Amino acid sequence: MKTNKINVIAFSLHGVLCCHNLRGMVEKIADIVDMHESAVQEILTEKCKGAEYLKGLIDPDDFWDRVARQFDNDAAEATQRYVLAFETNPFLWPIL
């Protein structure tokens, strides 16, 4: 009788293993620049090439430069710190 073994379990980082997620990135920029979240989301998608950034199709520095140009340096820097910070998900880590 052949038994199957689980060799790999994969988890998503942002929003799963880590508390930070892309929704939080939109909220952070909206708070800093005092814009509606839907407007921030549209700018990130259309002008900053957010989807391409998430897929790894553009250089991260290019994405963050676009964010700084569209919003401001403070918003870009604060949001980049938020996205790159790792705050563990307190509900998931204890069971791993």
| Residue 87 near residue 19 (C-beta atoms within 8 A) | yes
pLDDT at residue 86, rounded to an integer: 66
pLDDT at residue 79, rounded to an integer: 87
pLDDT at residue 17, rounded to an integer: 56
Q: Give the number of C-alpha atoms closer than 13 A to the C-alpha of residue 38, restricted to the C-beta side.
A: 0
- H or E segment to which residue 65 belongs: helix 60-70
Count CB neighbours of 71 within 10 A: 20
Q: Three-class SS of residue 88?
A: strand
Q: What is the mean pLDDT of each run of 10 residues along the chain (96 residues)?
A: 71 55 81 93 90 84 94 90 72 67
* Nearest of 51, 83, 85, 47 to residue 68 by alpha carbon: 47
* Nearest of 22, 15, 21, 24 to residue 50 by alpha carbon: 22
| Residue 47 near residue 70 (C-beta atoms within 8 A) | yes
Q: Three-class SS of residue 10?
A: coil
State pTM to two decimals: 0.69
